[in-house]
Amino acid sequence: MYTLYFLPDACSLATQAILNELNQAIELIHKEDAENYDVLNPVGTVPVLIDQNRVLNEGVPILLYLLDKHENNLIARDGEDRHQAIENMMFANASVHPAYGRLFFAEGNITNNEGKQQAFDAAASAINKLWAAVEDKLQGQAYLGGDSVSPADFLLAVYSRWGQSYPVDIVIGPNTRKMIDAVISRDSFQTALQRESDYRAVTA
C-alpha cells in the first residue's frame, strides 16, 4: 500500500487518480494532519508519496516512478512516444501549473483591489495562451497521447479546476474541454474526488 499526502483539489489529485488507474491501494493523509511534514518535504508542497521506506516528492517524478513500476497503458516504455509523453507532462507541470500559481500569488499577496485584478487578468492571459497551445495539440486526437489517455491529461484536468473561483475569463477550447471532461468522468478520477470528500467529512 502507498501512503499519499495530499491537499484537496491540489496536484496530488492527479497522483491519486493515476494510482487508481494502476489499481493500487492508497492510504490518504491530509498534509495538515501529518506530523513533521517538513521532514518529508522541506518545501512543504504536495504530493508526497511513501512507498515502504522510500519518500518521493514532486508530481511528475512520482508519476514516472509509479508508471515505470506498474504495468500500464498510460505511457510507452521507450522510444519517441515515451519522450512525447514526458514532454507533455513537463509542459503541464512546468508551464500550466505555474501560470495558475500567479492567480494564487495575487490572491494571497496583493491587497489593492485594482492591482489584484490587474494581476488576475495578466495571469489569465498567460493561462489562455497555454490552453490555446493544448487546443492546437488536440487537433485530430482525443488526448495528448493520441487515442488513449495519458498522464499529462490527468495533470491538465486537475489544473483546469483551479480558475473557477477567480474573477477571470479562462478560455478552454472545445477539444480541450472534451478531453478534460473525459478524464474527470473516469472512474479513477471520480474515486479520487470521492475519497478526498470522504476524508474531509470524517475529519471535520
Check which CATH number belongs to the domain holding 42 and give it: 3.40.30.10
The stretches of 45-78 forming alpha helices (DSSP H) are 59-69
Query: Do residues 7 and 36 share a domain?
Result: yes
Q: Which residue, 162, 172, 168, is CA-closest to 133?
A: 172
Compute the distance between CA of residue 50 and CA of residue 72 in angstroms, rounded to an integer: 20
pLDDT of the chain, 204 residues: tens digit per residue: 999 999 999 999 999 999 999 999 999 999 999 999 999 999 999 999 999 999 999 999 999 999 999 999 999 999 999 999 999 999 999 999 999 999 999 999 999 999 999 999 999 999 999 999 999 999 999 999 999 999 999 999 999 999 999 999 999 999 999 999 999 999 999 999 999 999 876 665
Query: Do residues 132 and 147 share a domain?
Result: yes
Which residues are CB-contacts of 133 (< 8 A; sequence separation ≥ 6)?
91
Query: Residue 163 corresponds to which cell in the numbers above?
Result: 480558475
pLDDT of residue 204: 55
Output the domain CATH number for residue 157: 1.20.1050.10
pLDDT of residue 181: 98
pLDDT of residue 57: 97
Query: Do residues 92 and 8 share a domain?
Result: no
Which structural domain range is residue 162 located in? 79-184
Query: Do residues 23 and 111 share a domain?
Result: no
pLDDT of residue 199: 83
pLDDT of residue 184: 98
Compute the distance between CA of residue 150 and CA of residue 144 in angstroms, rounded to an integer: 7
Q: Which residue, 166, 139, 201, 196, is CA-closest to 14?
A: 196
Separation in Å, CA 116 to CA 31, 120, 176:
28, 6, 28
Provide the whole-model pTM.
0.96
pLDDT of residue 103: 98
Query: Do residues 118 and 143 share a domain?
Result: yes
Query: Do residues 191 and 166 share a domain?
Result: no
Query: Do residues 59 and 149 share a domain?
Result: no
Query: Do residues 90 and 180 share a domain?
Result: yes
Q: Which residue, 43, 61, 37, 48, is CA-closest to 10?
A: 48
Which residues are CB-contacts of 35 (< 8 A; sequence separation ≥ 6)?
none
Query: Do residues 59 and 11 share a domain?
Result: yes
Q: Domains in the chain: how many in total?
A: 2
Query: Do residues 86 and 153 share a domain?
Result: yes
Cβ atoms within 10 A of the Cβ of 32, count?
A: 9
Query: Do residues 69 and 149 share a domain?
Result: no
Q: Which residue has the cell 498510460?
A: 74
Query: Do residues 170 and 196 share a domain?
Result: no
